[in-house]
């Protein structure tokens, strides 16, 4: 690890100064481990899939209010309670 901190995306369609292009699929990635979120996001990006990364159900719900997502991927690192809250509100 290089000591870099991977923070979750802040719910915009801007990533590293490059705007998300219309027509690209967008996935919501939910999980507590920022390194796993970053890795999943990088793998999906290599296939042309944009991702928003959040660390809990509350952030996920805020993101879903602001951005239309094609798929939500909830990591096993999320707590069971958070997963239940997220799945019952969607």
Instruction: Using the predicted structure, report yes or no on whether residue 16 has a pLDDT greater than 70.
Output: no
pTM, entire model: 0.64
CA 17/CA 73 separation, integer angstroms: 24
What average pLDDT score do residues 28-32 get? 92
CA 37/CA 18 separation, integer angstroms: 19
**What pLDDT sits at residue 86?**
58
CA 15/CA 53 separation, integer angstroms: 11
Domains in the chain: boundaries:
24-89
Instruction: Using the predicted structure, report yes or no on whether residue 9 has a pLDDT greater than 60.
Output: no
Q: Who contacts 27 (Cβ-Cβ below 8 Å, separation ≥6)?
A: 44, 49, 50, 51, 52, 69, 70, 71, 72, 73
For 24-89, the fitting CATH number among 1.10.260.40, 3.20.20.70, 3.40.50.2300, 2.40.110.10 is 3.40.50.2300
Greater pLDDT, 12 or 72: 72
38-79: per-residue pLDDT in tens? 999 999 999 989 999 999 888 988 998 988 888 888 887 766
């Amino acid at each position: 690890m290089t000591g870099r901190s991977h923070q979750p995306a802040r719910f915009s369609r801007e990533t590293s100064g490059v705007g998300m292009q219309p027509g690209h699929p967008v996935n919501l990635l939910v999980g507590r481990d920022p390194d796993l979120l970053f890795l999943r996001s990088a793998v999906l990006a290599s296939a042309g899939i944009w991702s928003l990364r959040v660390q809990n159900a509350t952030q996920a719900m805020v993101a879903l209010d602001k951005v239309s997502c094609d798929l939500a991927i909830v990591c096993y690192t999320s707590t069971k309670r958070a997963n239940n809250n997220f799945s019952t509100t969607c």
